[in-house]
Structure 1
Amino acid sequence: MGEAGAGAAGHLEVVVFPWLAFGHMLPFLELSKRLAARGHAVAFVSTPRNLARLPPVPPHLSARLRFVSLPLPRVEGLPDGAESTADVPPGEVELLKKAMDGLAAPFTAFLADAVAGGRRPDWIINDFCHHWLPSIAGEHKVPCALFQIVLAGMVAYGGPRWANSTHPRTALEDFTVPPEWFSVSSTVVYNRHEAGWLAGCFRPNASGVSDMERFWQINEQCHIAIYRSCDEIEPGMFALLADLFQKPSIPVGTLPPQHELNDDERTPSDVLQWLNGQPPKSVLYVALGSEATLSVDNLQELALGLELAGVRFVWALRRQGSTNADVGGHGVLPDGFEERTRHCGLVSTGWVPQVKVLAHGAVGAFLTHCGWGSALESFMFGLPLVMLPFVVDQPLVARTMVERGIGIEVARDEGDGSFDKVGVAAAVRRVMVDEERNLFTSRAKKLQEVLADQELQKRYIDDLVDNLWRYKDAA
């Protein structure tokens, strides 16, 4: 669109640019599809391999949602062809950020070409790590919005630059208590074995820039902040964020992956076929994401805990970022585990259609690492949670859900975060078997009733669009 073209035509020109992780790219894509469905033009920017791995866009949106491919520069230490966090071990993720910083020049060229061609964007919606992007956008008089796909409470817990200067956190213990400005809860905190991750975000890493510095620079230069959450899940949080960061803080709803439940193109899953033969609400679905950092010992304790609990289960056992163990050959599992649990359990190392599994009538609860995307998917179907969080916002998601009474955490060692089979079995039985099960389930169902309200979710998107129109001339 030209200088005034977007407003005259009644639609916005929006560029979206997520961090190179599928846990970020997929919600950015869901937001893009919702904007395109309302008639707005969206350019989704990423690297060639990542774009090729994204799920297909519905044909009726393809005219308004286009993909822009920027080649990722080579960085010494990164594996050949690595373009996302799924392609690298956890210790090399910071090198991926360094590589992404090399996208500044090609992105500048893309934006300059768009402006010269009469399609100046009305907005660039970017992620937490593009600290170089707002200044590029400012040169072309394009406002930026920061889209946070994590629990909004984590952003408040991290806090703005001024709050951290006024109330510095210098010791590890400082990160295990609510910061001075975090007024919404006294129990949603990091435990000691988790706090090191957050403390590390304040220190420069292999990319040369700390994660908090990236976030602060972006947030300070963006005109609005968007959150994948809503008031029904995090009441009072968005008023706190608006006050802390002194800018509009807009919840956009949960952005459920609408395509997956209606996607009949994939080969029928063995997992779904197995679930078809199980009694209603009898199965525990176990999935810890593709990047969870479990040791072999912890994986074996998890397996033995499932066996000890004596409940039906489906385990989506994916590649573990912290070990080279033969997951594909089940080498990480205890000897004889699959044979002993064959009557009640299924371990799958292939592709598992998570949303369809969570929606299946045989599934009664979800053992999860509490990644925000997975948690939101579970809310869609009113499932109580057994929680085993690790890093990023996962611990705060778990504490938030415990506070709401939707499930419980597996007991952990406070020092190193380890757990044993007894703790796993106890947590699973409380959520799946014991009298508490009905209470956990009823609370989860109440949350489901709210989040399944399609009109409510639509209003969140409509409110975002209204705010994009309202603030688009702020640059």
Structure 2
Amino acid sequence: MKEAGELEMVVFPWLAFGHMIPYLELAKRLSARGHAVAFVSTPRNLARLPPVPTRLLSPRLRFVPLKLPRVDGLPEGAESTADLPPGNDELLKKAMDGLAAPFLDFLVDEAAAGKRPDWIVHDFCHHWVPPIAREHNVPCAAFMVCSAAFIAFLGPRWANAVHPRVAMEDFTMTPGWMPPPSAIAYRRRSEAESMADAFRANASGVSSMDRVWTMFERCRLTIYRSCEEVEAGMFALLTDLLRKPAVPAGVLLPPVVATDDEGRSEVLRWLDEQPPKSVIYVALGSEAPLTLNNLHELALGLELAGVRFMWVLRKPAGLFEAAGGNVAEGGVLPDGFEGRIQGRGMVQTGWVPQVAALAHGATGAFLTHCGWGSTMESFAFGLPLVMLPFVIDQPLIARAMEEKGIGVEVPRDDTDGSFNRDGVAAAVQRVMVNDEGKVLASRARKLQQVLADQTAQERYIDNLVEHLRRYRDDGCQ
């Protein structure tokens, strides 16, 4: 029996761990406040999520598996973007569109059990969820795990009609609906081309922007993994642009889990042996479109920089296989690399507790692809950034962090986005060796102090809950 004030929620993320993890953190915080949350995904993805504290589980937080339909061309067992080569997720979107019927059955079963949701919180590509929800008189909210500034750069359908972007070069200019002094735009042709692709038809049958625009038009609220301290004024702008409330949910960082010596990972034990603030942590996520040349130039750049580093080399699907599954000795890494950096560098290809590694006292900086989740984690621990962005919102985030004075970007070719070892080494030394790095670190620590206010972060969730209560009964869009 639902108690007074309790909300019945369904959260339904896109099939990428960079989305599922913040959705899980949001679900945990809602559950901790006494609300019932059903987390919907596919069986294999649910099995790969990090464990949830028992006190938050049934009946408050439960996991609902929906079987992903088969799609020609999608590898057997692929249920997330981590199971695919980077940039090959359109067939996964097509498969996810096939979850419409199972999701409808789930809602029917929920209603029959007296658990009709008060809200469905869904992701950017779920353009088919709001029509199903409307049939059951359930409002929808979109939860965006990218930066709010990126959503403002995309803009709603009406703004793109008034200020059309037709040529690739249009994406290298600040949109006409962004008020000054904003200078948000892509700087390089390769970055602008990747964004222009989002406006074109793809193998899923629906362009990424059509998904986003339709979703925005049919949801009642938009929610963001962000806060005013990081993106001041952006939520008021988005409320005006999207013509509905834009609500920040805070940074939603997963907790640092303490481990005893026996359960401590090899990475953390290695960091234990390094001097304070002497290591640059290197991680480009699991979906960066890396080539073997990229990896070799990054490796040789780290070697040339002459500093201690911990490199989390996630397995890019298809790349390790091309190298015979071998990391070194003629495989993914340059010949003899691991021998030459022994003692001051470590390459880890398995799972790494990233939050704990970033929080470690030996970690002094973060070389990152500037995914929003990783950038948020750098904020939490006051780490200056060496930035190597690739696609979607990453270049815009890198530019914003450079403007905040907390990071430097690896020099890139303006046409194709390529980089070399000398550029990597120079950027790493600017942050880890030169006096400039001390200034960057000081600014990063000031931001950390602001975000360390847990009372303020929890207040964002409380404010979100109030919005969910207030707009629940306003009539479906």
Q: 1:179 to 1:322 in 2, by over 3 A?
A: farther
1:334 matched residue in structure 2 = 334
1:186 & 1:10 partners in 2: Cα distance?
Answer: 40
In 2, are the aligned partners of 1:184 and 1:237 still within 8 Å (CA)? no
Equivalent of 1:74 in 56, 70, 76: 70
User: 1:246 corresponds to which residue?
Assistant: 243
Report the AA paired with residue 210 of structure 1.
Answer: S
Tell me how far 1:335 sits from its aligned partner.
1.1
Q: In 2, distance between residues paired with 1:369 and 1:255? A: 19
Amino acid of the residue matched to residue 139 of structure 1? E
Q: One-letter code of the match for 1:375?
A: T
Match of 1:374 in 2: 374
Q: How does 1:187-266 map to 2 (within 5 A)?
A: 187-190=183-186, 191-258=188-255, 260-262=256-258
The worse-fitting range, judged by mean Cα deviation, of 308-317 and 86-95 is 86-95
In 1, Cα distance between the equivalents of 2:458 and 2:178?
Answer: 29
Contact 2:30–2:37 (CA<8 Å) still a contact in 1? yes
How many residue pairs get aligned? The number is 469
Shift, 1:9, TM fit: 2.5
| TM-score (normalised: structure 1) | 0.96
RMSD between aligned residues: 1.4
Preserved contact between residue 86 and residue 316 of structure 2 (Cα < 8 Å): no
Which position in structure 1 is the counterpart of 2:178? 182
Deviation at 1:91, TM superposition (A): 4.6
1:427 equivalent in structure 2: 427
Flag the 1:41–1:74 CA change in 2: closer, same or farther, 3 A: same
Aligned residue runs from structure 1 range 32-43, under 5 A: 32-43=27-38
In structure 2, which of residues 106, 115, 139 is the aligned counterpart of residue 119 of structure 1? 115
8 A Cα contact 2:303 2:341, kept in partner:
yes
Q: Which has the larger displacement, 322-331 or 383-392?
A: 322-331
Matched, 1:390 2:390: yes
Given candidates 126, 131, 134, the residue that maps to 1:130 is 126
Aligned with 1:14: secondary structure?
strand
Whether the 8 Å contact between 2:86 and 2:288 is mirrored in structure 1 is no
Preserved contact between residue 384 and residue 440 of structure 1 (Cα < 8 Å): yes
Q: Which residue of 2 aligns with 1:269?
A: 265
Q: Return the alpha-carbon distance in structure 2 between the equivalents of residues 179 and 50 of structure 1.
A: 37
Name which of 155, 158, 164 aligns with 2:160. Answer: 164
8 Å contact kept, 2:85–2:316 = no
Between the aligned partners of 1:327 and 1:384, the Cα distance in structure 2 is 33
1:395/1:264 Cα in 2 relative to 1: closer, same or farther (>3 Å)?
farther
Is the 1:280–1:362 contact (alpha carbons within 8 Å) kept by the matching residues of 2?
A: yes
Cα displacement (A) at 1:186: 4.3
SS of 2:143 mapped into structure 1: strand
Contact 1:295–1:322, Cα closer than 8 Å, also in 2: no
Q: Residues 303-342 of structure 1: matches in 2 within 5 Å?
A: 303-321=299-317, 323=319, 324-326=322-324, 328-330=326-328, 331-342=331-342
Distance 1:24 1:37 in 2: 20
Deviation at 1:344, TM superposition (A): 1.2
The 3 A distance-change label for structure 1 pair 265 and 165 is: farther
Q: Which is worse superposed, 16-25 or 176-185?
A: 176-185
Cα displacement (A) at 1:338: 1.1
Aligned to 1:22: 17
* Distance in 2 between residues matched to 1:456 and 1:326, nearest whole Å: 50
1:291 deviates by 1.1
Q: CA deviation at 1:274?
A: 1.1
* Aligned-residue offset at 1:329: 2.6
Q: Match for 1:242: what amino acid?
A: T
Rate the CA distance shift 1:91–1:313 in 2: closer, same or farther, 3 A: closer
The answer to whether the 8 A contact 1:364-1:432 is kept is: yes
- Quick one: structure 1 residues 227 and 266, their matched pair in 2 at CA, closer, same or farther if it must change by over 3 Å? farther
- Could you report, residue by residue, the CA deviation over 1:322-379 in whole angstroms, capped at 9, with x for unpaired residues? 6233565331111111111113111111111111110111110000001111111111
Q: Which residue of 256, 266, 274 maps to 1:278?
A: 274
Distance 2:315 2:360 in 1: 24
SS in 2 for 1:450: helix
Structure 2 CA distance for aligned equivalents of residues 338 and 196 of structure 1: 36
- Matches of 1:48 and 1:332, distance apart in 2: 31
Answer yes or no: is 1:103 the counterpart of 2:88.
no
SS in 1 for 2:364: strand
- Show structure 1 runs of 5+ residues with no match: none
Check whether the contact 1:370–1:387 (CA below 8 A) recurs between aligned residues.
yes
Quick one: which amino acid aligns to residue 292 of structure 1? A
**Which AA in structure 2 matches 1:247?**
K
Length-normalised TM-score, structure 2: 0.96
Matched with 2:295 is 299
SS at match of 1:147: strand
Task: State, as a whole percentage, how many aligned pairs show the same letter.
Answer: 65
Once residues 91 and 308 of structure 1 are traced to their aligned partners in structure 2, the CA distance between those partners, rounded to angstroms, is 30
- Give the letter aligned to residue 147 of structure 1: F
Tell me the residue number matched to 2:414: 414
- How far apart are 1:267 and its partner, in Å? 3.4
CA distance in 2, matches of 1:329, 1:205: 33
53-62 vs 82-91, greater mean Cα deviation: 82-91
Q: Show the counterpart of 2:441.
A: 441
Quote how far apart the aligned CAs of 1:263 are: 5.6
Letter of the aligned partner of 2:100 in structure 1?
A
Query: 2:368 touches 2:374 (CA, 8 Å); kept in 1?
Result: yes
